[in-house]
Each structure stands twice: as C-alpha cells, then as structure tokens.
Chains A and B, each alone.
Chain A
C-alpha cells in the first residue's frame, strides 16, 4: 500500500467569518467573565475584532448617555433616590439586552472555536501521522497497520 500523500495546506479548516480574522485556536469558554466586565472584551479574546470594536464603542456610548456610572456611585453610597433621578431610562433600557448579548455571544463563539479546533487537529493528525509504514509492536513484517 503506498503512503498517503501529505496535504500541503497546513490548516484546511478554520473559523471563517466576515467579522473577524480566520483563526483556529482553543479559547476558554469562561470568556464570559471578560464580557461581564465590559461588553466586547470577550469578543476581542475570540478575535472577533469588528464585533469587539463595535460592542465596545456602542457600549461606551450607552453607558455614558444613560449615566450608569454616577448612578452606580449613588447606589453604592446609599442615596437611592438620587440614583433614580440621575438615570436616563431611555438609554438605560438598552443596556440589559446589550450586556447579556455580548456575554452569551462571546461564550458561543468560544465554544465554536474549540469544536472547530478539535475537529481540525484530529484531521491533521490523521493525515500526517498515520503512515502505513508504521511498524506495529509485535508484527514481523516491515509495516502495515
């Protein structure tokens, strides 16, 4: 049996998307912790660059115009009436869905990257390191799995 030709392309599969660079990496799905700090950081970790930049800019705008940070400050020192007053509800109501979306989406992205990586690496090893010339222990001939 002739040896199977080794593929020239090193990475035939990778996560290809219009919004990011093409990658084949393992990513820890606990990335949600980054997204919980600031929407977009998790996407940055998953190298979805355009989404990360978009989420960070829009997140910053929403946080600024909703006066979230002063409200957090007032809440922290216990003046809750002032916190309610300083809030802009029209902007603030964008924030929950935005925040949860960035957490969930970065998690899904990380899981998908990991699955693609596993499949890709398994295929790579099958192509490269399963030569029919390998001599199994205990066999008398000069090859053949």
Chain B
C-alpha cells in the first residue's frame, strides 16, 4: 500500500517522518519530494509559509519613518502636538509608500497568487496494509494538508 501526503515546509513535517519511522517503516520506503516554488508573487505581508522578501512593505517602512520624523518636528509648532502628528505622519508615510510600491510594481497577484494552503512538499510512504491506519494517523496528526491511500504491492 502507498500513502501520499502533502505538507508545508515546517518542523511538523520532520516530526511526522520521525513518527512514521518509529512505526517500523524504513528510510528506503519513504520518498520525499520537495517542490520548487513559483517566483514572481507579491504580497503585502509575507507569511510564515510564504516569504519572498519582495513584499510591498519596504517603501512603506522608509516613507513611514520619514513621515514620522516630519510629523514630530512640525507637531511642536502645530496645535495637536508632536505625538499625534508623529502618528499621523507614520500612518500617512506607510500608506503613501505602500501605494507607490503598488503602482510601480504592477501587481499581478490575482492570477499567480500562491495561497498559504498550497502544498510545498509531497511524501510517499510504502507500507504493509496493516500499518496503513497508524501511518495515516501519524501524518494527519502532524499537520498534513491531505493524505491519500492507494493500493499497490
């Protein structure tokens, strides 16, 4: 019998494999296929499972700090005081930087968007029919995204 499961890159994946090996499955009976990632995707924020480092955060951070400095400086003169103007400058700078980044980078994420739920890794485990339930439980318990059982020798 074969089990096929999909996973994220995550420490739980290694724990799943350790558990499967504890059940008496040899290393030669396990095949792991790490998938390459599709480039050219952009997010506002990177997430824990998807980080390309080209998210739309850089411009916001730069202009945010500039806006905050200017807000604090002019806040000493303006009525509302430096703190409120500093925060306004920060928010305005982040917004401006984000909009500039967005307009320059020609976002195409409607089509090419990689969702967090996409699999990054496939595992294939060959085992005896009586072990199938245990192995399946070990895989599900360690955050498998999906598990399939196919008959084989």
- Residues on A lying within 8 angstroms of B by beta carbon are 3, 6, 26-30, 68, 71-72, 75, 80-81, 83-84, 87, 89, 92-93, 95-97, 99-101, 103-104, 107-108, 110-112, 114-115, 117-118, 121-122, 124-126, 128-131, 133-135, 137-138, 143, 145
Contact = CB atoms under 8 A, between A and B. Distances in A.
Interface of B: 2, 9-11, 13-14, 17, 27-34, 37, 45-49, 51, 53, 55, 57-58, 61, 64-65, 68-69, 71-73, 75-76, 79-84, 86, 89-90, 120-121, 123-124, 126, 150, 152-153
Nearest to A118: B9
A114 B46 contact: yes
Looking at chain B's contact residues, is the secondary structure mostly helix, strand, loop, or mixed? mixed
Contacts of A126: 32, 34
Given A97-B65, A118-B9, A84 B31 contact: no
B9 A121 contact: yes
Contacts, number: 136
Nearest to A6: B27
12 contacts: A6-B27, A26-B9, A80-B84, A83-B82, A104-B61, A108-B53, A112-B53, A117-B9, A121-B121, A122-B121, A130-B32, A137-B153
Contacts of A71: 81-83
B150 A137 contact: yes
The winner among B30, B48, B68 for most chain A CB atoms within 10 A is B48
